Amino acid sequence: MIALDRVITFLVLAFPVVLLSVKPLAIMIFILIAIIGVFVSIKDRKNPFAIESIKLFSWLTMGYFFVMSLSVLLSTEPTNSWVHLSRVSYFLLAPFVALAIIQSNISIEALVKSFKLGIVIAGAISLIGFIMADGSGRFSGMYNPNTFGDLAVMMLFFSILNIHNE
């Protein structure tokens, strides 16, 4: 079990670093963490919807996915289709990701440092994109600019969690 904790810790700390810089690797890490969470759920008979510390998170992520599903189902827009749900399919795996994270002993300080490194890398991607494109174009690497901006702001907020203690 100690080896599994080390793998989870490595994956969770690597995820914010590659999230905005290497999209395919971030997706693979997310899926690996989710698989570990499913493994822990089955092996240890732990339900992410029953564990007090992640119960609300698990229900909220599932609720969000099902609201988005209802939105697609009840939509009369001709361009709306079930394919659009793939954009929010990550919410189905989020309870198992949370289970994998709480199963390991990751310190909040290490996680915040990982987010800080990730936000510095995201800033470098934007700055290099701006310089190379001579100030015009998109500066979001592999991401849609809106998604990149949303993730960067979320990571920035997370990275300033311990700012008063540093």
**CA torsion 63→67→68→71, rounded to 10°?**
170
Please indicate whether residue 135 or residue 41 has the higher confidence score (pLDDT).
41
CA distance 141 to 55: 35
Tell me the one-letter amino acid at 49.
F
**Taking the CA atoms of the chain, what radius of gyration do you get in angstroms?**
18
Indicate the pLDDT class of residue 83, thresholds 50, 70 and 90. confident
Q: Is the pLDDT confidence value at 52 over 80?
A: yes
Q: What is the reported pTM? A: 0.80
Terminal Cα distance for the chain, rounded:
32
